[in-house]
Amino acid sequence: MRIGLVGTGRIGAFHASTLAGLDQVDEVVLTDAVPGAAETLAAEHGYGTAPDVDTLLGQVDGVVITTPTTTHAALLRQTVAAGLPTFCEKPVAMTLDESIELVDLVESSTVPVQIGFQRRFDTGYRRARDAVRSGDLGFVHTLRANTHDQAPPPAAYIPTSGGLFRDCSIHDFDIIRFVTGREVLSVYGVGANKGDDFFTEGGDVDTCAAVLTLDDDTVVTVSATRYNGAGHDVRLEVMGSAGTVGVGFDDSLAVRSAEDGVDYPRGPQKWSFMERFQPAYRRELGVFADLVAGRVSSPCTVRDGLQAFRIAEACELSRRRRARVDLAEIPDDSGTTGAGARSA
């Protein structure tokens, strides 16, 4: 099969390499709005190119969207209109209203769409999910999730990112739904800036946290920061009445013990999300190739993307209000309110 990829920036180049290494994929075809960008990457690695999106859509069996978030919605409309299975990096749109419109569009079509939440394909998170669903942990009462970047992105990225909750913590919100099988009822979000001025100037924060209450009264804490000099640190703890399981507690853990005689973790640390989740990205795109071939249904739907976005939206609203926000206040895909469909 031929897979088209739109957007050849950092994650686009990474995905192109992953796709090219899959047995199911015969050719990767690139296009980019930046003149020469696709051609330069293609020349280095032997990929094909197309001069524009419209031409690309006529040449491929499926499409991967890795452009800036501001362009996702328009591109997704194009690929759905063309009837092409699509992989789109999160989030599908910059706003809640547009996300809702896209859910309606995709669900009224027969085009399969997969959203890029790679943690669903990480071995540790999947084992945590199995532990919850098997009952091995007893009743689950508490989760702690964090996403701590080693260094901040460029200043130009912030105005188009959607903010720390929507850009970064949204991965935690999705994986909480995936691991627990539950929905979020309410949130209380906070944020602060101690780093570069461009976060404040862009209306964003460089560090945030939230307390979530799930629909079975499980309590969840989520934290994120752009400044974790010790390394890229992504973890989840799931605590139950009969046991606790953790994800991200290997020797790359970016934490130094203050206790005597402790030599764990031994390192080396990981420094980026691509390094941390490389195997998960490979599995994720392998499943997308199977989706294009018609062998599987979407493992992470546009509806799933909307539910994670709703949680992020509620957290940002809570941060600005300095008050708890119920998810029932955040519209769902029907234009009403409510938690929406639970993740499978």
Q: Is 80 exceeded by the pLDDT of residue 337?
A: no
**Any domain includes 277:** no
Q: What is the phi/psi pair of residue 24, to 5°?
A: -75, -20
Q: Domain check: are 214 and 324 in the same one?
A: yes
Residues 6+ apart with CB under 8 A from 215: 182, 183, 184, 185, 339
Query: What average pLDDT score do residues 215-231 get?
Result: 98
Query: What average pLDDT score do residues 227-234 get?
Result: 97
Closest CA to 221 of 208, 236, 235, 211: 211
Q: Domain check: are 55 and 105 in the same one?
A: yes
**334 pLDDT tier (thresholds 50, 70, 90):** low
CATH code of the domain covering residue 241: 3.30.360.10
Query: What is the per-residue pLDDT across 70-127, written as a single tens digit (0 to 9) for each?
Result: 999 999 999 999 999 999 999 999 999 999 999 999 999 999 999 999 999 999 999 9
Q: Domain check: are 128 and 115 in the same one?
A: no
**205 pLDDT tier (thresholds 50, 70, 90):** very high
Query: What average pLDDT score do residues 140-166 get?
Result: 95
Q: Domain check: are 166 and 32 in the same one?
A: no
**Any domain includes 287:** no
d(CA 2, CA 60): 5
- Which of the 8 DSSP states describes residue 265? -
Q: Domain check: are 145 and 224 in the same one?
A: yes
**344 pLDDT tier (thresholds 50, 70, 90):** very low
Query: What is the per-residue pLDDT across 13-48, written as a single tens digit (0 to 9) for each?
Result: 999 999 999 999 999 999 999 999 999 999 999 999
Q: Domain check: are 322 and 244 in the same one?
A: yes
Domain end, chosen from 95, 119, 143, is at 119
Domain end, chosen from 88, 103, 119, is at 119
**Any domain includes 343:** no
**Any domain includes 49:** yes
Closest CA to 171 of 35, 304, 34, 16: 304
**Any domain includes 36:** yes
**Any domain includes 294:** no
Domain end, chosen from 78, 101, 119, is at 119
Query: What average pLDDT score do residues 60-76 get?
Result: 96
Q: How many domains does the chain have?
A: 2
**160 pLDDT tier (thresholds 50, 70, 90):** confident
**Any domain includes 293:** no
Residue 54: predicted pLDDT? 97
What's the pTM value of the predicted model, to 2 decimals? 0.94
Q: Domain check: are 128 and 68 in the same one?
A: no
Question: What residues make up the domain containing 107?
Answer: 2-119
Q: Is 90 exceeded by the pLDDT of residue 343?
A: no
Q: Over the chain, what is the mean pLDDT?
A: 95
**Any domain includes 314:** yes
More confident call, 343 vs 68: 68
d(CA 93, CA 103): 11
> 3-state SS string over 146-202?
EEECCCCCCHHHHHHCCCHHHHHHHHHHHHHHHHHCCCEEEEEEEEECCCCHHHHHC
Query: What average pLDDT score do residues 136-148 get?
Result: 98
